[in-house]
A and B are shown apart, each in its own frame.
Chain A
Amino acid sequence: MTVDNPYKVRNTYVTGYSGSAHVMMIEATGLTYRYGDFVAVDDISFSVAEGEILGFLGPNGAGKSTTVKMLTGQLVPARGVATVLGTDVSRHPKAVHERIGVCFEEKNLYPRMTVRENLQFFADLFDRSVDVDELIRKVDLEKWASERAEALSKGMQQRVMVARALVNDPDVLFLDEPTSGLDPVSAEQIREIIRAEKTRGKTVFLTTHNMAEADALSDRVAFINEGRIVALDTPENLKLRLGRRLLRVRTRAGDDFAEEVLPLDDDATPDRMGALLRAGGIATVHTLEATLEEVFIQLTGRKL
Chain B
Amino acid sequence: MRRACVAAIARKDVRMAMRNNLVLLALVSGVLFSLVYYALPSATDETYHLSVYDEGASALFSSLPPQLSRGAAFSFVSSEEALHEAVYAGDAIAGIVIPATFDEVVAAGGVPSLSLVVADELSTGQAEALSFLVATLAGYDVYGTLPVPLATEVIGADEAGFVPMREQSVPFYLLMALMMEMWTIATLVVEESAAGTMRALLVTPARPSDVLTAKTLVGGVYAVGVVFVILLLTRSVRGDLVALFLGIVLGALLAVSLGLLLGSLTENITGSYMYVSIPLIVLLLPGLLLFIPDISHDAVRAIPTYYLVDAFGQVLNRGAGIADVWRSYLAIACLDVVFFVGGIAAIRRRYR
A residues in contact (CB < 8 Å) with B: 72-76, 94, 97-98, 100, 102, 104, 106-113, 117, 121-122, 124-127, 164, 168
Contacts and interface: CB of A to CB of B under 8 A. Distances in A.
Interface string B1-45: 000110111011001100110000000000000000000000000
Category for how many chain B residues contact A: 20 to 34
Nearest to A105: B196
A125 B16 contact: no
B268 to A, nearest CB: 15
Given A124-B4, A125-B4, A108 B196 contact: yes
A97 B199 CA distance: 12
Given A104-B200, A125-B204, 15 more contacts: A74-B199, A100-B203, A102-B203, A104-B196, A104-B199, A108-B197, A108-B200, A109-B195, A110-B12, A111-B195, A113-B16, A117-B15, A121-B8, A122-B200, A125-B4
B199 A126 contact: no
B203 A74 contact: yes
Mostly, the B contact residues are: helix
A3 to B, nearest CB: 38
Interface of B: 4-5, 7-9, 11-12, 15-16, 19-20, 195-197, 199-207, 351-352
Contacts of B203: 72-74, 97, 100, 102
B197 A97 contact: no
A129 B266 CA distance: 33
Given A124-B4, A125-B4, A125-B205, A108 B199 contact: yes
Contact of B16 (A74, A110, A126, A168): A110
Ordered nearest first, which 3 A-B pairs have the shortest CB separation? A108-B196, A124-B8, A112-B19
Nearest to A114: B15
A97 B11 CA distance: 21
A70 B307 CA distance: 45
Contact of B8 (A100, A125, A168): A125
A126 B16 CA distance: 20
A234 B201 CA distance: 34
Among A94, A102, A111, A117, chain B packs the most CB atoms within 10 A around the CB of A94
A98 B2 CA distance: 13
Contacts of B8: 121, 124-125
B7 to A, nearest CB: 8
B202 A74 contact: yes
17 contacts: A73-B203, A74-B202, A74-B352, A97-B203, A97-B205, A100-B203, A108-B195, A108-B199, A110-B195, A111-B195, A112-B16, A112-B20, A113-B15, A124-B11, A125-B5, A125-B204, A164-B200
B196 to A, nearest CB: 3
B225 to A, nearest CB: 21
A122 to B, nearest CB: 6
Contacts of B352: 74-76
